Structure 1
Amino acid sequence: MSTTARRARWLLPFVLLALWLGIGATFGPYAGRLGEVATNDQAAFLPRSAESTEVAAQQKAFRQGGTLPAIVVWTAGGDAPVRGRRTAATAALAALDGSADVAGRVSPALLSADGRALEAVVPLRPGLGDRLPGALDRIRAAAHVPGTTVVLAGPAATQADLGDAFAGIDGLLLGVALATVLVILLLVYRSVLLPLVVILGAVFALGVACAIVYVLAQHGVVRVDGQVQGILSILVIGAATDYALLITARYREELARRADRFAAARAALKQSWGPIVASAATVALGLLALLLSDLTNNRALGPVGAVGIGCAVLTALTFLPAVLVLLGRAAYWPARPRPAEDRRDGIWQRVARLVDRSPRRVWAVALAGLLACAAFAPTLASRGVPLEEIFVNDAPSVAAQQTLGRHFPGGSGNPAVVVADAGRLDQVLAAARRTEGVAAATGVTASGRPGAAPLVVGGRAQIDVTLRSAADSDTARRTVARLRTSVHAVPGAHALVGGYTAQQYDTLRTAERDRTVIVPVVLAIIFVILTVLLRSLLMPALLVATVALNFVATLGVSALVFRNVFGFSGTDPSVPLYGFVFLVALGVDYNIFLMSRVREESLRHGVREGVLRGLVTTGGVITAAGVVLAATFAALGVIPLAFMVQIAFIVAFGVLLDTLVVRSLLVPALVRDIGARAWWPGRLSRPRGTPGHDLGERGTAVSASAPGGADPAR
């Protein structure tokens, strides 16, 4: 090769490296800026077609829609009576009327039936964002009455605590995830430079993804909350690292076979890009299926997650190969790539021999274990998380809500809202008051005083309905369902029921509908991609069935752990759907990596030998990838919210179960037992004597020197 040609082939990796360094410097800061365009106002994520959403829109005409109630509660020490302080409490809050943060009239202080507490509602303006804690501090200061203790409950206080919980999502979560991945990579590779290169590529991918999502959110294309923001960071870091592990393991194989680093990189990229792109397409399209959801945050996660996966693939197929070419064997220093025949007998050779010797026993035991775990899945309650369980740690808003609930009806200060035609207001009021579970129902008046003329806007009037049960309880949601039945039956009223409890009820119903629609779509997408990649129908069906079983088994274990270890009474309605999308799509990832290599080896050596060689050559790298992904998702647990902890456990445990049981034992043993028929109707399923027939009938069991990268650390 001429000097000019040698110089020319060095040009591309240098250009790619320089390009990515520039991209990283430009877009890297966006990884810490998504909080600027994120909102934790749960009202922004209501179901689009729900009745409660329509009520929220109509409330705007009453200048009460979108307000964020802060409930002020006064108590005296030792539950002493506070009757004599009611006038002072009302006067103290009167100073807030007309202030910049307040969206309407502050209610007078109301005395509890037991005479031991007072409450008042301060309607705050929506969208205060970072100003909300300051607004609550001003309310707390204004509400001071000598001899009493003042606490703040209600949606405003809860949203402020959510903001505190998500405050560490840009720094703490990212730092924990990257540190965890770095430690695992150092243990896996036992080299100095390669883990740093992989981490740098993941950070570049995250920076670009966050920049794209920032622009989309800034222009209102997607809504981003703390949950979506945290999942994006974890998803990009985990996926980018997984793809990097696959490429670096294949590059090490090729370096052991040939001296030319450029030829090794080309061969590694040629063999890796197909499975990586297929894997990424599976996850991205699975996430995009969330666009079929009626919940705004689910729809946001779809394109946001797909953008993250696309950026992870981009860095894995451009930045990483460029750096590997420039570093050559030095990337693995002080370890060095060694030919397959120099490797000692390892765990994956032993696993392969076990699968080859007793395939039916292996898959039967693995299947029985998964089915036993899956038997507990129906016990996982997904009816929502009560307020006292939203935060893993103690939160002031939770303690305040508990104080409120001890002295007032459970729904006090957070009523259901009924909007109806003004001409039928009395009939609707009567129907609401007759409803089981309703403590009181009062019409909203023009002056804000009880008994005054009702406020009528566009021929519609509003009723506030106080529920006997806590607004976030199952009992309250059942009361809302009965309330809707009652007021809908009033002729000509065109009554609609909304408010916080109705929003929770509609979200629960919508989440159930989403699972019914989205789960089959995701499974169909995965089946089509696997069919194209593996040129088979039976094999994709087998793989989809195994990852679906892994998901159900994970839910079963989660039900036991959540109830008996974490003390959760249930999960958020979106948790099972999120868990399904991540576990099924990511679980298929590892089966794609395994079975694409099995197919490659089967075309050379026959189906039986191909299964065993594929298991040996991918065992180490896929296990390492699974541990990395599980660890990164487990990092979500540093955010002190039940939703994050639940998603962290489901995905982390499910990925490990899939990696260590489904992909390592169940799938190889099933394919080994079924034989060439597993590839029906593809080339590998054809009978002997035709192109691509099963040479494995004459093959032998895999040896300790089977080619490939059994362990990326070696």
Structure 2
Amino acid sequence: MLQTPSVDAPPTGPADRLARTLRWARWLVLAIWLALVVVLNPLSDSLGGKTNDTAQANLPAKAASTKVAEIQDAATKGRPKTDQADVVLVRAAGLSAADSAAVTRARAAVADLVGKVPHLAKPDGVVASKDGKAALFSVDVNALTKDQSDADGDAVKAIRKAVAGPVKEAGDGLEVKVTGAAALSADGGIGDQNTLLLISLSIVVVVLLLVYRSPVLWIFPLIGTIASLIAAKAMTSGLASAGFTVTSISTAILTVLVLGTSTDYALLLVHRYREELRARPTPVEAMAVALRRTLPSVAASAATVVCGMLCLLAAQSAALRGLGPVAAVAIAAVLVGQVTLLPALLLLVGRPGFWPLVPRPTEGHEEGSRAWRSIGQWVARRPVPVAIGAVVLLGAACTGLASLHTSNDPVAIVKGQKDSVVGRHLVVAHFPAGATDPLTVLSPPDEAAKVASVASGTPQVAAVQAADPVGRYSATDVTLSVPPYGSQGYDVLKDLRGRLDAQAPGALVGGGPAVQYDTAQAADRDAKVLIPLVLVVVLIIISILVRALVAPVVLVLTTALSFAAAFGLASLLWHALGYPGIEAQLPLYIFVFLIALGVDYNIFLIGRVREEARTLGIHEGMLRGLSVTGGVITAAGVVLASTFGALSRLPYVPVAQVGSAIAVGVLLDTLLVRTVLVPAGLLALGERSWWPSTSAGRARGADRTAPSSAADLGQGAG
């Protein structure tokens, strides 16, 4: 997988100056990074307390449900918020007198917890189902937002333990489950992100050990990665303080994005540095050439990802809009860390850092990987049929999209058939479908009576009940007789809003179902804006970098096809795992990352191919480019896919879905699109790939000793 390094011009570029600076200032660079880590670590640790997973996080600012949530927050500012736990008891044959007594004892047992379990309120009265088979009572968990998740977990655990005794005394057949928002939070929370970090770091260490085959070398990229992660989390904490919405999903993605891309950049730099050590007398000279050849491609890659992420600022969803800057600062931290701290560490240890396979100038070189060159030759023999075959395979994978189902039902965030999920199904089976998730209508007091009248006359409304006032507004709970999350419930919501707009124009309809409906509407709008925006921005950036139009179009189209195929395969995977659906806003998360990261690897390949084609022509340039970049880029893809795959270990389904889809997409892009489809497409087009620039093939006499510019991207991939 090695190449013979080319002869380079005298060191005059920024990369050469950076290498010379690092030679005499390596201790200073290490000291600066150490000071930064010490200073930024407390700010990094504070990020967990600044995440925003409230209803407003995924909503557009002007949505009615957003305004309801804001009014509720303003009315309870500084006071605890409430999550509800619902205890449902069911006997399929009908509740007996003994069962009713057990229900009473279960409620009393929960009431006894008040004062003993923090944040737990007195339970409401028992409600019996009309079919006589179920009973339900609710209990509130009141806590400050920052403590709500822990409070829900402790309270639900205590409630489940308390009701188990009375139910057991009633004999077999009486089933009890605890569901509701508090139970869903307890069963399906984001989980411990320290576990995610440990899993991801373990993956990185294993891959680095396998690639470098050194008990020492893997430590240096890992140090740079950890330092970059601390810096990225600290900057993200600053973004949260500045008003950007940072959710738990964003922080989880931040962790794996930094670990994956940081390791990728390190693989590219160390790979080229090792090659140059075999041809240069000193590590400083080798590092100068390695940086000169790697920095343009890494910087171009980072710029592409950053620009793609910043497109998210055009989103209506606050969470999606906040993710853009979060991902951008993460990539920036990675770039700075791996082109300053990592080279300084490598220069500090010199050649012994590669022990036991120490590269020395006396060693011979291989002209790239024979395996990857063989793959290239196979593709080159019949590029058109190979390209068609790859497209057909990707198209077949796209058929998996037929199994895709969007669902913003809160139970969809919980893996498996946990108590909260089963309990929710029991409630829906025996009570009005919207019993535990009513709509909340806020209105001026003089419109309260009209709101109640209009809601009562709306089809598919099961019950209307006045609730406690919220600030200056009257509140009305509206229970639906159809499932509140889904097309039936959303149709009722739209009907109710239309009626209220005409007869009680001051009324605002919010509550859980309204939040999810407005979130889905915002996601639909964001998809129509962001998908073409990201594609156009990425296309423009690549066109500027490679100074061509045809090749960038090929790269973007193949990456878009790869996204669709990956999404189809991921949909089949989610269906097999029993996930009930995907939240409406998540496909955009997956799209943006797969497009940006997929193009990322293609930049490394296409840049190197163009560089080689200057003297060898497109055919031989493709074979050489693939042979010298294949191994390291594939290793980088495996690292990135593995780190994102670690997200699937978290109990929170949306995060697991994002992680698994991106992992599938990166592997698909690494092993099929970049390896087969892109080479086949460019070989089929020939020298027209570089239109409208001067044909690379006609530039065979060009001086290859000139320093690389940002357009000569692929040098770093070798």
TM-score, L = length of structure 1: 0.86
The 8 Å contact of residues 421 and 493 in structure 1, kept in 2 or not, is answered as no
**What's the Cα RMSD here?**
3.5
1:351 and 2:363 matched: no
SS of 1:444's equivalent in the other structure is strand
Q: 301-310 or 42-51, which moves further after superposition?
A: 42-51
What pairs with 1:384-403 in structure 2 (closer than 5 Å)? 384=408, 386-403=409-426
Counterpart in the other structure of 1:155 = 181
Of residues 183, 203, 207, the one that matches 1:184 is: 207
Structure 1 residue 44: Cα displacement: 4.5
Q: 137-146 or 434-443, which moves further after superposition?
A: 137-146
The 8 Å contact of residues 407 and 583 in structure 2, kept in 1 or not, is answered as yes
SS of 1:419's equivalent in the other structure is strand
Counterpart in the other structure of 1:500 = 512
Mapped to 1, the partners of 2:671 and 2:90 lie a distance apart of 58
SS of 2:440's equivalent in the other structure is strand
Does the C-alpha gap of structure 1 residues 42 and 103 become closer, same or farther in structure 2, counting only changes over 3 Å? farther
Counterpart in the other structure of 1:405 = 428
SS of 1:193's equivalent in the other structure is coil
Does the C-alpha gap of structure 1 residues 709 and 56 become closer, same or farther in structure 2, counting only changes over 3 Å? closer
Q: 280-289 or 120-129, which moves further after superposition?
A: 120-129
Mapped to 1, the partners of 2:397 and 2:20 lie a distance apart of 59
Of residues 615, 620, 642, the one that matches 1:609 is: 620
Q: 499-508 or 283-292, which moves further after superposition?
A: 283-292
1:276 and 2:298 matched: yes
Equivalent residue letter for 1:586: L
Equivalent residue letter for 1:647: V
Of residues 7, 21, 25, the one that matches 1:12 is: 25
Q: 351-360 or 196-205, which moves further after superposition?
A: 351-360
Mapped to 1, the partners of 2:445 and 2:176 lie a distance apart of 38
The 8 Å contact of residues 683 and 693 in structure 1, kept in 2 or not, is answered as no
Of residues 77, 80, 85, the one that matches 2:95 is: 80
Does the C-alpha gap of structure 1 residues 69 and 176 become closer, same or farther in structure 2, counting only changes over 3 Å? closer
SS of 2:350's equivalent in the other structure is helix
The 8 Å contact of residues 88 and 176 in structure 2, kept in 1 or not, is answered as yes
1:472 and 2:485 matched: yes
Does the C-alpha gap of structure 1 residues 423 and 629 become closer, same or farther in structure 2, counting only changes over 3 Å? same
The 8 Å contact of residues 269 and 716 in structure 2, kept in 1 or not, is answered as no
Counterpart in the other structure of 1:515 = 527
Mapped to 1, the partners of 2:311 and 2:412 lie a distance apart of 29
Does the C-alpha gap of structure 1 residues 239 and 336 become closer, same or farther in structure 2, counting only changes over 3 Å? same
What pairs with 1:255-334 in structure 2 (closer than 5 Å)? 255-334=277-356
Unaligned runs of 5+ in 2: 1-18, 705-713
1:374 and 2:391 matched: no
Counterpart in the other structure of 1:532 = 544
Counterpart in the other structure of 1:110 = 127
Per-residue deviation, residues 483-506 of structure 1 (Å, max 9, x unmatched): 22333332x443321110010111
Mapped to 1, the partners of 2:641 and 2:581 lie a distance apart of 22
Counterpart in the other structure of 2:82 = 68
Structure 1 residue 394: Cα displacement: 4.6
Counterpart in the other structure of 1:51 = 64
SS of 2:61's equivalent in the other structure is coil
Structure 1 residue 373: Cα displacement: 1.9
Does the C-alpha gap of structure 1 residues 625 and 345 become closer, same or farther in structure 2, counting only changes over 3 Å? closer
Does the C-alpha gap of structure 1 residues 103 and 464 become closer, same or farther in structure 2, counting only changes over 3 Å? farther
What pairs with 1:579-590 in structure 2 (closer than 5 Å)? 579-590=590-601
Counterpart in the other structure of 2:13 = none
Mapped to 2, the partners of 1:692 and 1:332 lie a distance apart of 35
Structure 1 residue 61: Cα displacement: 7.2
Mapped to 1, the partners of 2:592 and 2:489 lie a distance apart of 30
Structure 1 residue 685: Cα displacement: 5.6
Mapped to 2, the partners of 1:244 and 1:689 lie a distance apart of 32
Does the C-alpha gap of structure 1 residues 483 and 93 become closer, same or farther in structure 2, counting only changes over 3 Å? farther
TM-score, L = length of structure 2: 0.85
The 8 Å contact of residues 368 and 627 in structure 2, kept in 1 or not, is answered as no
Counterpart in the other structure of 1:654 = 665
Counterpart in the other structure of 2:384 = 360
Counterpart in the other structure of 2:192 = 168
1:483 and 2:496 matched: yes
The 8 Å contact of residues 439 and 513 in structure 2, kept in 1 or not, is answered as yes
Mapped to 1, the partners of 2:103 and 2:654 lie a distance apart of 39
Does the C-alpha gap of structure 1 residues 237 and 677 become closer, same or farther in structure 2, counting only changes over 3 Å? same
SS of 1:80's equivalent in the other structure is coil
SS of 2:390's equivalent in the other structure is helix
Mapped to 1, the partners of 2:679 and 2:20 lie a distance apart of 45
Size of the alignment, in residue pairs?
676
The 8 Å contact of residues 188 and 413 in structure 2, kept in 1 or not, is answered as no
Per-residue deviation, residues 243-297 of structure 1 (Å, max 9, x unmatched): 1111111112212222221111011101111111111111122112222222222
Structure 1 residue 83: Cα displacement: 5.3
Of residues 211, 217, 225, the one that matches 1:202 is: 225
Of residues 425, 429, 432, the one that matches 2:455 is: 432
Structure 1 residue 457: Cα displacement: 6.3
Identical columns (%): 37
Structure 1 residue 368: Cα displacement: 1.9
Mapped to 2, the partners of 1:192 and 1:104 lie a distance apart of 56
Mapped to 2, the partners of 1:501 and 1:629 lie a distance apart of 36
SS of 1:442's equivalent in the other structure is strand
The 8 Å contact of residues 260 and 639 in structure 2, kept in 1 or not, is answered as yes
Structure 1 residue 92: Cα displacement: 7.8
What pairs with 1:614-629 in structure 2 (closer than 5 Å)? 614-629=625-640
Equivalent residue letter for 1:351: I
The 8 Å contact of residues 26 and 345 in structure 2, kept in 1 or not, is answered as yes
Mapped to 2, the partners of 1:30 and 1:396 lie a distance apart of 37
Mapped to 2, the partners of 1:493 and 1:569 lie a distance apart of 37
Structure 1 residue 344: Cα displacement: 8.3
Does the C-alpha gap of structure 1 residues 422 and 188 become closer, same or farther in structure 2, counting only changes over 3 Å? same
Per-residue deviation, residues 415-470 of structure 1 (Å, max 9, x unmatched): 1012234444444323322323221112236xxxxxxxxx5964x53221111234
Counterpart in the other structure of 1:638 = 649
Of residues 654, 665, 670, the one that matches 2:676 is: 665
Structure 1 residue 390: Cα displacement: 1.9
Equivalent residue letter for 2:192: G
Does the C-alpha gap of structure 1 residues 98 and 324 become closer, same or farther in structure 2, counting only changes over 3 Å? closer
What pairs with 1:232-271 in structure 2 (closer than 5 Å)? 232-271=254-293
What pairs with 1:22-37 in structure 2 (closer than 5 Å)? 22-28=35-41, 33-37=46-50
Equivalent residue letter for 2:234: A
Equivalent residue letter for 1:160: A
SS of 1:117's equivalent in the other structure is strand
Q: 413-422 or 99-108, which moves further after superposition?
A: 99-108
Does the C-alpha gap of structure 1 residues 340 and 606 become closer, same or farther in structure 2, counting only changes over 3 Å? farther
Structure 1 residue 139: Cα displacement: 6.7
Does the C-alpha gap of structure 1 residues 374 and 84 become closer, same or farther in structure 2, counting only changes over 3 Å? closer
Counterpart in the other structure of 1:557 = 569
Counterpart in the other structure of 1:548 = 560
The 8 Å contact of residues 88 and 426 in structure 2, kept in 1 or not, is answered as no
1:230 and 2:231 matched: no
1:120 and 2:141 matched: no
SS of 2:462's equivalent in the other structure is strand
Structure 1 residue 13: Cα displacement: 2.1
Structure 1 residue 315: Cα displacement: 1.1
